[in-house]
């Protein structure tokens, strides 16, 4: 599946979750529900994927984790906060860079309309 179609499909599933739950829950609730929906839709999906940091000749497990990784190519960074800031975008880009992933979605579920809480992210390497 091409990235644009994959991204649109995952956004649709996130909207389904948001429609059912609404804003105001913890990030972990949205993560579990979205993971379930993605898995149920038949996609290969990983939750809390560990992202090591390679520094000089050492692999460091610093606690970096991708919230959800879909089809080993789409990074999902989920939030449930008042508003997204540049630091959240930087966090998403860092995960993408560490894993060599080109596409990501930064999704804030704590909004009235989910489309206002979604940012598509492309890493140009």
Instruction: In whole angstroms, give the CA distance from residue 48 to residue 63.
Output: 10
Q: Mean pLDDT over all residues of the chain?
A: 94
Going residue by residue through the chain (125 aa), what tens digit of pLDDT does each one get? Answer: 698 999 999 999 999 999 999 999 999 999 999 999 999 999 999 999 988 887 788 877 777 899 999 999 999 999 999 999 999 999 999 999 989 999 999 999 999 999 999 999 998 75
Residue 110 structural domain: 3-122
**Locate tokens 């520094």: which residue?**
55
Residue 92, CB-side half-sphere exposure with 13 Å CA sphere:
27
Whose CA is closest to 115, among 4, 37, 7, 14? 14
Judged by phi (left if over 0) then psi (alpha if -120 to 50, else beta), residue 40 lies in alpha
Instruction: In whole angstroms, give the CA distance from residue 14 to residue 104.
Output: 14
The pTM is what?
Answer: 0.93
């Amino acid at each position: 599946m091409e990235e644009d179609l994959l991204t649109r499909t995952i956004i649709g599933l996130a909207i389904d979750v948001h429609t059912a739950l609404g804003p105001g829950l913890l990030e972990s609730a949205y993560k579990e529900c979205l993971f379930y929906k993605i898995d149920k839709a038949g996609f290969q999906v990983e939750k809390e994927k560990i992202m090591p940091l390679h520094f000089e000749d050492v692999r460091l497990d610093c606690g970096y984790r991708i919230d959800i990784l879909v089809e080993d190519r789409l990074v999902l960074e989920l939030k449930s906060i008042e508003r997204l800031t540049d630091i959240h975008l930087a966090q998403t880009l860092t995960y993408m860079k560490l894993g060599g992933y080109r596409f990501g979605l930064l999704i804030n579920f704590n909004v009235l309309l989910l489309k206002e809480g979604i940012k598509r992210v492309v890493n140009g390497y």
